[in-house]
A and B are shown apart, each in its own frame.
Chain A
């Protein structure tokens, strides 16, 4: 392989608070190749690529493209330098036309003396759409009229029409139908044939092997290896992705402890259009039931559906006494707690005090008649914060000042205070350090011993294997596998059901 190095990443580093998302990654990418970039959720692949294209600032280290150091502050500057990206989420903007989206930030060729030549811009956008084979998308139409997949196709045009030296495709294929995928693969092949480079991020290892020349593997933010795709099998890649030592002292050490037969909650054919379909399971008293899968598998929606937080859910979630859970107030009134994966937006109110966050679901219980007594609220918040060993100055401290781990402790303290019998914990240890993790695992163990039931949704397989009595794997919105707690259970077995 006598190829020129197009991109050199040296000691690239990025932290988000205490989370070390990318840790001293150094690698090179050649011109005229398609490089796969794989790793488990949270391995740092998206953060790495988003630093390369200016979405995130570089925490440390340097990118050198074609011998020139990159200093880009946003996507437009990255585009000008020769790097573009198709992101995981929707990258188009509502309220703009298709053409405006394609040329957003690059309107200059259509502007003369400050006046934008909209017809010319529309014509050029339509020409590009036709050239890509997406002619049914009309350049002059508002983007809002198109569905998610069509908007992804617009994004593909937007990211590639200027023929970037490096095209990053970040988990885009899951949003596309087979036809859309084929179009994307063709574009990737053309880019390689032109002597330019594609960095292809995907969880579909089969797809990675079929469409890349080489694959780089990241794990826990660290660079592991780069291998030739032709020499690899899916199992080889999985081994590289997962290859860390499994098992830590802070997980449960009991094996074979029987779980009660008493069913406390039953989900029957739960479906949320586009996210999960026909999901059925039972949760037993004192059981930790784990849900694992890829981030977009639908497993996070299961937590919401159980808590009555999915507005378009069908199927039933029923408690042992026959109560159906169809909304959040009913769930809370029947002792169900929920912590979201999106902690800052869906679990805590960041611009509020620890006290007010903690008492929120217990206000009715703490009220004297219709009056709330501050001393009582303080006592409640303090008592539960101390139980969780939350690091704080006082319960009057704002949650926005706390670390991710302590925010999570506030969320848990809220539900501990509420004495919830069923806890739905979505990614309970996401982005938090080992010490807090340990505390949360210990708490889960304690709650289990008290006979409380826990649904733990997690993208981290070691914690699922370490903590759950039973693991359900979710793939494409359905349950694809069920495993009982077993010391011999390995990550590869679970991954095989996930991808």
Chain B
């Protein structure tokens, strides 16, 4: 029995089980505390809708976080790419909206990856610098005014459109991780870059590819974000920074559940759990500060329980 349990703990089913248990736990807590304002099927769909937007970004971030890199510019890219998408939609319709957002976001990924490889400075520094630049360019592109997505192009603003697009992104992520070398090599680089190089892996190329993939997913996130909110305002002064953290929380779940072979499910469900917690507090009428405290604490607790390092090991 003990052996069976130990074996189960190494399978993806255990990962699914843990995630499901967490969903049930947090749902039950808020449902008990505020049965009328929380957790109806309509509510759950709404939580899911907001969480999948961040989950798409979280999937993109996974490629670079497993390599030990970081990107502070994704919020700025979401704003910039969605503004470009909205502007393009005015001239080329849906094609302009989708291609404009995706192309803009992906090119930003190319630029970040290129600069990271060329400048040889930490990814955090490169992306903070570029965040400031992208924020300013976005203001310039928007002409200082709020950009509104025309009613004709809001298929992705609600289900089924938003769910279809997000599902396509998740399938793409699953395909890349399972059926291409990229996922394997990103993990290998993150595990031991020196050994990865010795295995003939072109580390620079795969880091560049990691940034490109990340920002392609950010492009999808931009489409979903501006569709969901219908407008986008460009702001400067690092105001896009806060947009980085919700996708990152999902990525933490993904990295934590990587050992069970369920990173994508963990990203999606992780974002859903965070959405449940946020909305649970809103239902309770708690102030935003309290919501942030408890969400942060819940995230720390979950990641500590699932992904903490061995005692005595160096954790950075």
A in complex with B: yes
Residues of A within 8 A of B (CB): 54-55, 74-77, 91, 93-97, 100, 104-105, 107, 111, 114-118, 141-142, 144-145, 311-312
Residues of B within 8 A of A141 (CB): 10
Residues of A within 8 A of B260 (CB): 142
B201 contacts A105, C-beta separation under 8 Å: yes
B191 contacts A115, C-beta separation under 8 Å: no
B188 contacts A93, C-beta separation under 8 Å: yes
B66 contacts A95, C-beta separation under 8 Å: yes
| B204 at interface, CB cutoff 8 A | no
B312 contacts A96, C-beta separation under 8 Å: no
Residues of B within 8 A of A77 (CB): 200
Chain A residue at minimum C-beta to C-beta distance from B192: A93
| B196 at interface, CB cutoff 8 A | yes
Q: Which of B191, B258, B261, B311 is in CB contact (< 8 Å) with A93?
A: B191
B181 contacts A107, C-beta separation under 8 Å: yes
| B179 at interface, CB cutoff 8 A | yes
16 contacts between A and B (CB under 8 A): A74-B199, A74-B200, A77-B200, A95-B188, A100-B187, A104-B188, A105-B200, A107-B184, A116-B180, A116-B181, A117-B179, A142-B10, A142-B260, A144-B259, A145-B259, A312-B312
Chain A residue at minimum C-beta to C-beta distance from B313: A311
Q: How far is the CA of A136 from the CA of B199 in the complex (A)?
A: 26
Residues of A within 8 A of B261 (CB): 97, 142
| B178 at interface, CB cutoff 8 A | yes
CB distance from B216 to the nearest CB of A (A): 16
Residues of B within 8 A of A76 (CB): 198-200
Knowing A142-B261, A145-B10, the reply to whether A75 touches B200 (Cβ < 8 A) is yes
| B195 at interface, CB cutoff 8 A | yes
Q: How far is the CA of A94 from the CA of B313 in the complex (A)?
A: 15
**Using an 8 Å CB-CB cutoff, how does the interface string of B169-213 with A read, 1 for contact, 0 for none?**
000000000111100100110111001111111000000000000
A96 contacts B191, C-beta separation under 8 Å: yes
CB distance from B185 to the nearest CB of A (A): 8
B199 contacts A105, C-beta separation under 8 Å: yes
Residues of B within 8 A of A311 (CB): 311-312
Residues of A within 8 A of B187 (CB): 93, 95-96, 100
Q: How far is the CA of A117 from the CA of B192 in the complex (A)?
A: 24
CB distance from B211 to the nearest CB of A (A): 19
Knowing A74-B200, A77-B200, A144-B259, the reply to whether A104 touches B184 (Cβ < 8 A) is yes
Extra pairs beyond A96-B191, A105-B201, A116-B180 (11, CB < 8 Å): A55-B198, A75-B198, A76-B198, A76-B199, A93-B188, A95-B66, A96-B188, A100-B187, A116-B179, A116-B181, A118-B179
Indicate the member of B184, B191, B192, B259 with the most A CB atoms within 10 Å: B184
B178 contacts A118, C-beta separation under 8 Å: yes
Residues of B within 8 A of A55 (CB): 198
Q: Which 5 A-B pairs have the closest CB atoms?
A: A76-B200, A311-B312, A95-B187, A105-B199, A93-B191
Q: How far is the CA of A76 from the CA of B196 in the complex (A)?
A: 10
Q: How far is the CA of A76 from the CA of B188 in the complex (A)?
A: 14
A75 contacts B10, C-beta separation under 8 Å: no
Knowing A142-B261, A312-B311, the reply to whether A104 touches B199 (Cβ < 8 A) is yes
Residues of A within 8 A of B197 (CB): 74
Q: Count residues of B near A (Cβ-Cβ below 8 Å).
A: 25
Knowing A104-B184, A114-B180, A115-B179, the reply to whether A74 touches B258 (Cβ < 8 A) is no
Find residues 34-79 in chain B having any chain A CB closer than 8 Å to their own CB: 66
Q: How far is the CA of A144 from the CA of B200 in the complex (A)?
A: 22
Chain B residue at minimum C-beta to C-beta distance from A94: B191
Residues of A within 8 A of B195 (CB): 91, 93
CB distance from A334 to the nearest CB of B (A): 22
Q: Which of A91, A111, A145 is in CB contact (< 8 Å) with B181?
A: A111
Chain B residue at minimum C-beta to C-beta distance from A95: B187
Residues of B within 8 A of A117 (CB): 179
Residues of A within 8 A of B312 (CB): 311-312
Q: How far is the CA of A93 from the CA of B66 in the complex (A)?
A: 13
Chain B residue at minimum C-beta to C-beta distance from A115: B179
Q: Which of A100, A114, A312 is in CB contact (< 8 Å) with B184?
A: A100
Residues of A within 8 A of B188 (CB): 93, 95-96, 100, 104
Q: How far is the CA of A118 from the CA of B261 in the complex (A)?
A: 13
CB distance from A74 to the nearest CB of B (A): 5
Q: How far is the CA of A74 from the CA of B192 in the complex (A)?
A: 15
Indicate the member of B178, B201, B259, B260 with the most A CB atoms within 10 Å: B259
Q: How far is the CA of A213 from the CA of B285 in the complex (A)?
A: 80
Q: Which of B10, B179, B180, B190 is in CB contact (< 8 Å) with A95?
A: B190
Find residues 80-126 in chain B having any chain A CB closer than 8 Å to their own CB: none
Residues of B within 8 A of A96 (CB): 184, 187-188, 191
Find residues 7-47 in chain B having any chain A CB closer than 8 Å to their own CB: 10
**Using an 8 Å CB-CB cutoff, how does the interface string of B229-244 with A read, 1 for contact, 0 for none?**
0000000000000000
CB distance from A165 to the nearest CB of B (A): 18
CB distance from A484 to the nearest CB of B (A): 36
Q: How far is the CA of A107 from the CA of B191 in the complex (A)?
A: 18
Q: How far is the CA of A64 from the CA of B259 in the complex (A)?
A: 42
Q: How far is the CA of A312 from the CA of B184 in the complex (A)?
A: 34
Q: How far is the CA of A112 from the CA of B178 in the complex (A)?
A: 14
Q: How far is the CA of A100 from the CA of B201 in the complex (A)?
A: 13
Chain B residue at minimum C-beta to C-beta distance from A111: B181
Q: How far is the CA of A93 from the CA of B67 in the complex (A)?
A: 13
CB distance from B192 to the nearest CB of A (A): 6
Residues of A within 8 A of B198 (CB): 54-55, 74-76
Q: How far is the CA of A142 from the CA of B258 in the complex (A)?
A: 9
Chain A residue at minimum C-beta to C-beta distance from B188: A93
Residues of B within 8 A of A91 (CB): 195
Q: How far is the CA of A100 from the CA of B199 in the complex (A)?
A: 12
CB distance from B200 to the nearest CB of A (A): 3
CB distance from A314 to the nearest CB of B (A): 14
CB distance from A460 to the nearest CB of B (A): 27
CB distance from B202 to the nearest CB of A (A): 10
B259 contacts A75, C-beta separation under 8 Å: no
Residues of A within 8 A of B10 (CB): 141-142, 145
Chain B residue at minimum C-beta to C-beta distance from A89: B195
Q: How far is the CA of A111 from the CA of B184 in the complex (A)?
A: 13
Residues of A within 8 A of B196 (CB): 93
Q: How far is the CA of A344 from the CA of B184 in the complex (A)?
A: 30
A95 contacts B191, C-beta separation under 8 Å: yes
B192 contacts A115, C-beta separation under 8 Å: no
Chain B residue at minimum C-beta to C-beta distance from A77: B200
Residues of B within 8 A of A145 (CB): 10, 259
Q: How far is the CA of A117 from the CA of B197 in the complex (A)?
A: 23
